[in-house]
Amino acid sequence: MRNHFVRNNAEILAASSYVIQDPPALRGHYRERLGAPRLNLEIGTGKGRFLTDAARAVPSEGWIGVERIGSVLCKAAGALDRLIPAAALHNICLIRSEAEDLPDYFEPGEIDALYLNFSDPWPKAKHAKRRLTSARFLSLYERILAPGGILYLKTDSDILYSFSLEELPARGWTILASEDDYRPDAGDTSVQAIPTEYELQFRKEGRPIHMLRAQCPASAGQPEADHPAGSTPGRTNEEGAAAHA
């Protein structure tokens, strides 16, 4: 989908009550900010359709959307700011950032679940390290996810899907579920079944959607120096995952 330029996007983001202006200042306090015992993070939140629908579906949990493109995040922020007071969401916030900066914004173990919805697949082999399930990014997630935290992925890319199925276990993650052609039942109320804008478009085009869920290692939620690669998978996070799976 084409992303149109938004004039004065810096001013729009600065004025939005949903955009966190100083993410490091809230490090370790996002649960209090959102009034929720569990925190979910979507990287590449785009225009915010999935994040907003998820926040409505599970109002007892906190939902944080990270997007690096300011003009795109403006659309998500604008849609939230235009909600009438009765429909306002208090369990959601937005951050403009690159994924690489996440450990500066969240304490070790602060995030309970992570969503990667239709991330850039970087199909060329020479760009594999840029994929959001490459070892360099998984090491970042392992620092901010709680032990037993869950990563949820949906993609239309065969390359990213196959790559993820190999890369995650190589770092000690446990693949809990995977489907080559993910088609949630009509009555499926899980968060992962909530469609994104890209997903709706791809399904109209007849393109298969790939899905996987993976659990991070037991050593997650530790500073990088104390978090070795290839560590043994740890305990499950069944209560939280059940509502999302």
Is residue 120 part of the annotated active site? The answer reads yes
Look at the block and give the residue holding tokens 């790939």: 210
Q: Determine the angle formed by the axes of helices 49-57 and 70-81, rounding to 10 degrees.
A: 40
Euclidean distance between the first and final Cα of the chain, in Å?
27
8 A C-beta contact, residue 124 and residue 163: no
Q: How many angstroms separate the CA atoms of 184 and 168, rounded?
A: 23
| Centroid of chain to Cα 241 | 14
Q: How many angstroms separate the CA atoms of 119 and 158, rounded?
A: 12
* Amino acid, single-letter form, for residue 55: A
Q: Which of 120, 158, 180, 188 is catalytic?
A: 120
Beta bridge partners of 42: 65, 115
CA distances from 184 to 90, 130, 162, 209 (A): 28, 29, 20, 10
8 A C-beta contact, residue 119 and residue 85: no
Q: Which residues are catalytic?
A: 120
